Chain A
């Protein structure tokens, strides 16, 4: 199952050229771009690991592309995303994020239904990969 999330979740994978153009766009807006990775891509997991610090004061995408290449090389079987942080007063949050790397094999998620009194059902989304193996050995 191909996990999708973030700004371009409705699109097929971006090519490297497209990723570069998006990063250029972020830099033109004055946003700080960061790279994050995880092997727990649950939609509720907002805490991905940071690959280095967010890159402030960059003017050109080349430096970020270089970091991204290094991250993909170190974590080929992880999910990697690019995030852009808008520091404008009152915004001060991530304004854009998209996945740029994923494991070759994605077992996907299982829907767990838990019966509650009065025919209430609680739903849980559980990742097969996360449930099967410990951190670092999942994909």
Chain B
């Protein structure tokens, strides 16, 4: 077998960059300079800027960042306490930013050297639990291997546990997870996510899981003004804008939409904007003779919003 092709280049594999900056200060190195070294401040700043609201979430992330940083400084001076456990649970209503924050968390933990790679593997029950006997363990282990060095994000984690079916294979996946969360803390961080009440019930039936999770973070619903800001951000990113009238109409839209069922916070905002884009495009298309200026291509007018069902419903109720 001729498989010697790469032996020369493999003799000294490159060290992975990113996670391994060392904090080389004297005994008086300041926390500020250590912080600057990791570049985590920019990351936290970005988080503050990009994500509207979420004050309790941001505070907790800052606390975790501080803990990891102080831990590193302590370790360098020989005060070891063992790595902290950083498994987390994100609870909150739909569209409150749980997935978005989990992604950021992976990057932040990587910058701080807590995880080696900084990728996020997002899974749900179907990715972990098999359909037949003996199917679940290999499936779960496969996912765990992929997540090593990064973050395993389990969305709607309570579906893993189905008390109504005592033969459910979900329990098997939970047991493997429990073991890995305890024994492979250095290898991966597990973040569970879901709605608060169902998550609470899940933990009641799986106390082992609850006790392995150091950080239970609750994502509050957004206020109307926060949602308006989020809409502004989304429009900016897509090179659209509301005209003055549309801004006022959109505030009204939010108030009405928030009172309706199935309101999904920032995701509803995104959907509303997507539908407004549709109507905006169709409005332009219906008047092919009108001049298409940059202005008209980028401006969403009040009419594009007022056509929404949300306003129609408001009238009939």
Contact = CB atoms under 8 A, between A and B. Distances in A.
26 contacts: A6-B3, A7-B3, A7-B10, A8-B10, A9-B4, A22-B10, A25-B13, A28-B13, A55-B145, A57-B146, A58-B145, A58-B146, A58-B148, A59-B117, A59-B119, A59-B146, A59-B148, A59-B150, A60-B116, A60-B187, A62-B145, A63-B144, A63-B146, A64-B145, A95-B5, A97-B3
Given A5-B1, A60-B150, A67-B145, 14 more contacts: A7-B3, A9-B4, A25-B13, A28-B14, A55-B145, A58-B145, A58-B146, A59-B117, A59-B119, A63-B145, A95-B3, A95-B6, A96-B10, A97-B1
B170 interface: no
Interface of B: 1, 3-7, 10, 13-14, 16, 116-117, 119, 144-146, 148-150, 184, 187
A46 B10 contact: no
A23 B52 CA distance: 41
Contacts of B5: 95-96
Nearest to B116: A60
A96 B3 contact: yes
Contacts of B116: 60, 62
B148 A62 contact: yes
A88 interface: no
Contact of A66 (B4, B6, B145, B150): B145
Contacts of B148: 58-60, 62-63
A37 B115 CA distance: 31
Interface of A: 5-9, 21-22, 24-25, 28, 43, 46, 55, 57-64, 66-67, 94-97
A22 B14 CA distance: 10
- The DSSP consensus for interface residues of chain B is loop
A7 B13 contact: no
Nearest to A57: B146
Contacts of B150: 59-60
Nearest to A96: B6
Nearest to A5: B1
Contacts of B14: 25, 28
Given A24-B16, A94-B3, A59 B149 contact: yes
B13 A24 contact: yes
Contacts of B144: 63
A66 B148 CA distance: 11
Contact of A22 (B13, B149, B187): B13
B180 to A, nearest CB: 10
Given A7-B4, A96-B3, A62 B10 contact: no
Nearest to A93: B3
The listed residue with most A CB atoms (<10 A of its CB), out of B3, B144, B150, is B3
A139 B30 CA distance: 59
B7 A8 contact: yes
Contacts of B7: 7-8, 96
A8 B184 CA distance: 30
A5 B7 CA distance: 12
